[in-house]
Structure 1
Amino acid sequence: MTPFAEVIGDPIAQSKSPAIHRFWLEKLGLPCDYRALEVQGDGLAGYFATRRDEPGWRGCNVTMPHKQQVAPYLDTVSRPASRVGAVNTVYRQGSRLIGENTDGEGFLEPLRPFLDRPHLYRIVRLLGTGGAARAIAAALTEHGFTLVVAGRTEASARALLDAVAPHGAHHACALAHFAEPTNFDFDDREGLFDLVVNATPLGMVGQSPLAFDFSHAPPGSIVYDIVTAPVETLFVRRARESGFATIDGLSMLIGQAAAAFRLFYGVEAPRIHDEELRGMLAR
């Protein structure tokens, strides 16, 4: 049987994971496959029972709406996945099924050159409170960031902080706080690292645009949008036009996929082809 991994979710047709993993498998000449399978919530138990005994199965990525539902069917869940309460990758370790969350690793990847520098203070304005936002919040607190989390309500933002970052001088507010202009006079940002991150689905194809006024972004901020469709969101375009450095959602998508690829196939993804891969995914 050809070794394979797959992505499961409901729906699943929108997933870019098969295109990414098959691209890398082809570049490496590995005789493996990567598939997509629609699995409904009431089918998760049967899915893992079947796959557990399937010799060629290397694991799966887990997308919405199952990231918070798969843990009971696994033998172990990693600390990062436990902390954020979501599993996006399942892989085999001997006879055991391990749940991992690679979102934080993927999110941090394009920020590594900045994180390697010393800063007096690091702060992120994190928009969103879903599973991806939780993984991002957990990853950034590991790197000394103070979090300003904005949710649809202040209560939802506070719930994220209570779950992921209960200690520290973090702040919660509603998304509406950032929608209107501010005349706040930011102090000297020398030695500071400022991030603004959209971890909501707002701005995605079929969704309303994200209402964010860039007067809330300190000078020198990096603006990061994890939305992948479209690759250039209105949020990213407006940030760039306002003079901010930007990172698009393909950076996180490819980074988290590379971490999963390593777990599935035991080799590193051939990242020298990233530009070709990005071009393919952007079409």
Structure 2
Amino acid sequence: MNRDALLARESFVELGARARARALLDAGSFRELAGPFDGLRSPWLERQGVVPQGDDGVIVAKGTIDGHPAVVLAIEGAFQGGSLGEVGGAKIAGALELAAEDNRQGIPMRAVILFETGGVRLQEANLGLAAIAEIHAGIVDLRRYQPVIGVIAGQVGCFGGMSIAAGLCSALVVTREARLGLNGPAVIEQEAGIAEYDSRDRPFIWSFTGGEQRIATSLADRYVDDDSATIRQVVAELVSSPTPSVPRSARQDAYLERLAGYNPAVQATPETVRTLYAPLVAGDSQ
């Protein structure tokens, strides 16, 4: 990308959740539901000395994307690391359930989920886990009718139970700055030791969980520059595309077959992972 193009683009990563949702929807179609003035804040954070946020860190916006009815669910990574608790999780799950019901009523509602989350909120662990399970069910239900598109841009990434939600999406869009993994780097280091996983080694972390690696190992579908217009264009293409006949989450046998051939006693490298998943990238699991 040349210098003029770099200067002209608007970073999607640097936008907040509400601005990201607005950037994806058609001009003038943005309508926020269960917003900050509706008072849907966590009842648990204040008891533990944490200042709650009026929208609980989740934006629910309805509108259209290239004329298609859509709901955008954006997680605010700047609030509690994008962690999900009872209220924020219920907002996402409820929106997905209503979108599926719209389809049963003849309204072709799509969904886009903007992941920026470390997973469940530790202060609301069980309630958050229950909400994330409902999100998983909501994605699986809705994707039978219309695409559910996930976007991981950065700066927090997507970890924990919400990484499973990302894997359930019809298609997943990532940037170079994105990270995707079930366990976060600090958790792996805590459990396995720094010799196994140094959470302060940023190039090492991105080489395993970054967007480029996730594309190379077929765990994401589209790799895009950090540019709002480009990301909007790609999302618009995906929401108007047919849903995959075999979703990634239904290909578990192919993944398990590859993993069965891996020796966990040998320290993995990014190249090891790419080699391991090469048959999947080639498409032999379809």
Same fold flag (TM > 0.5):
no
More strand by share: 1
Give the TM-score taking structure 2 as reference length: 0.30
